[in-house]
């Protein structure tokens, strides 16, 4: 986890375990992510830097300098060899993890860049900014190959579905949108929150999307049924981030209330043979897009109240809060060796 308190904390999820607090950033830490193999952490900060960390007690870290304003997001490529960062300096930068140096810079956004992500195959990058554009970049020739703009506000976060055929974007105008990057069409448009959406995460199956909002709730969308299925209460104030675990059996949410909540998934109990049969044309990326993939552009849920389940852990489940662990502080002692 990362926080405005300038620290990264690495938590062990078993009870009665230590936590490790990594000290190094000079200002608020805005984004953190594990490499795919779990051997490296990347973090972004308002101190204009990206840091790479070895998540151990030796304090190995490297600083990547190049941005001239707050860095909003950092994300690894699928092979763990590169990280992409997005910044308030309106730039997107791609860095080599092995050589800890800048590879190239992407220019086109005219406003602060809020988020940038690699596709699952690493061939494209999706980014969004306060200029109201979601841009698609080809990493081979370093050019913007497509742009989406359909916002009254601006996109705050982007994510690829597991097959890499679609991107979802969260909006400051309370919306979540899914775009097919093969046909450049808007597939789905959800208005289920009462305030801006700050973060989204796809379930590994690609059939569900989880959203975090300033309205204080986390919501789970069924993308096959095009409906809201769960609304989760628990944070006292805006929810800033949310992420599924690698296998999808858990998800975590972080909020302005300085809490991280860990949730157990129980909504994916459908017969997956039926799900995959229904979803085959979307997950089979070699086929051309089908006309039935193109959904109406009009927002859902305007005519009737959606059928969904509300969960409030204050009332619905016993208190599972873990006691505060012993925190070991780790300060930088050496640079990461190549």
CATH of the domain at 254: 2.130.10.10
| 7 located within any domain | no
| 121 located within any domain | yes
Is the pLDDT at 287 greater than 60? The verdict is: no
| 136 located within any domain | yes
Domain of residue 219, residue span = 33-277
* Overall number of domains in the chain: 1
Confidence of residue 306 (pLDDT cuts 50, 70, 90): low
| 141 located within any domain | yes
Which parts of 192-312 are beta strand (E)?
197-202, 208-213, 218-222, 227-232, 239-244, 250-255, 260-264, 309-311
Region 90-110: mean pLDDT is 97
- Rounded to whole angstroms, the Cα distance separating 69 from 49 reads 9
| 1 located within any domain | no
| 130 located within any domain | yes
Q: What is the pLDDT of residue 325?
A: 84
Q: What is the pLDDT of residue 320?
A: 63
- Rounded to whole angstroms, the Cα distance separating 239 from 244 reads 15
Confidence of residue 311 (pLDDT cuts 50, 70, 90): confident
Better pLDDT: 293 or 231: 231
C-alpha distances in Å from residue 8, one per residue of 26, 32, 175? 12, 8, 30
Q: Are 34 and 25 in contact (CB under 8 A)?
A: no
| 312 located within any domain | no
Is the pLDDT at 244 greater than 70? The verdict is: yes
Backbone φ and ψ for 117, nearest 5 degrees, come out as -140, 145
| 295 located within any domain | no
């Amino acid at each position: 986890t990362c926080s405005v308190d300038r620290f990264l904390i690495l938590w062990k999820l078993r009870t009665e375990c230590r936590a490790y607090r990594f000290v190094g950033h000079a200002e608020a830490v805005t984004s953190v992510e594990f490499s795919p193999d779990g051997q490296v952490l990347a973090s972004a900060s308002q101190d204009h830097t990206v840091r790479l960390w070895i998540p151990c007690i030796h304090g190995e870290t490297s600083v990547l300098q190049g941005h001239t304003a707050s860095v909003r997001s950092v994300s690894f490529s699928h092979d763990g060899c590169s990280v992409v960062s997005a910044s308030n300096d309106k730039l997107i930068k791609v860095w080599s993890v092995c050589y800890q140096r800048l590879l190239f810079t992407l220019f086109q956004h005219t406003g602060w860049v809020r988020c940038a992500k690699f596709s699952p195959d690493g061939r494209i990058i999706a980014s969004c900014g306060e200029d109201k554009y979601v841009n698609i970049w080809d990493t081979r020739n370093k050019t913007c190959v497509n742009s989406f703009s359909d916002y009254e506000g601006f996109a705050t976060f982007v994510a690829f579905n597991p097959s890499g055929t679609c991107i979802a974007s969260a909006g400051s105008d309370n919306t979540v949108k899914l775009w097919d990057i093969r046909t450049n069409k808007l597939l789905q448009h959800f208005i289920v929150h009462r305030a801006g959406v700050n973060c989204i995460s796809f379930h590994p199956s690609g059939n569900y999307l989880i959203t975090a909002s300033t309205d204080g709730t986390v919501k789970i969308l069924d993308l096959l049924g095009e409906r809201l299925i769960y609304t989760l209460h628990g944070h006292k104030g805006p929810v800033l981030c949310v992420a599924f675990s690698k296998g999808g059996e858990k998800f975590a949410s972080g909020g302005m209330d300085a809490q991280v909540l860990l949730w157990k998934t129980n909504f994916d109990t459908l017969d997956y043979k039926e799900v995959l049969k229904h979803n085959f044309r979307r997950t089979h990326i070699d086929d051309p897009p089908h006309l039935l993939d193109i959904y109406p552009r009009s927002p859902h849920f305007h005519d009737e109240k959606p059928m969904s389940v509300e969960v409030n852990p204050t009332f619905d489940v016993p208190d599972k809060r873990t006691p505060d662990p012993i925190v070991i502080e780790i300060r930088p002692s050496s640079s990461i060796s190549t």
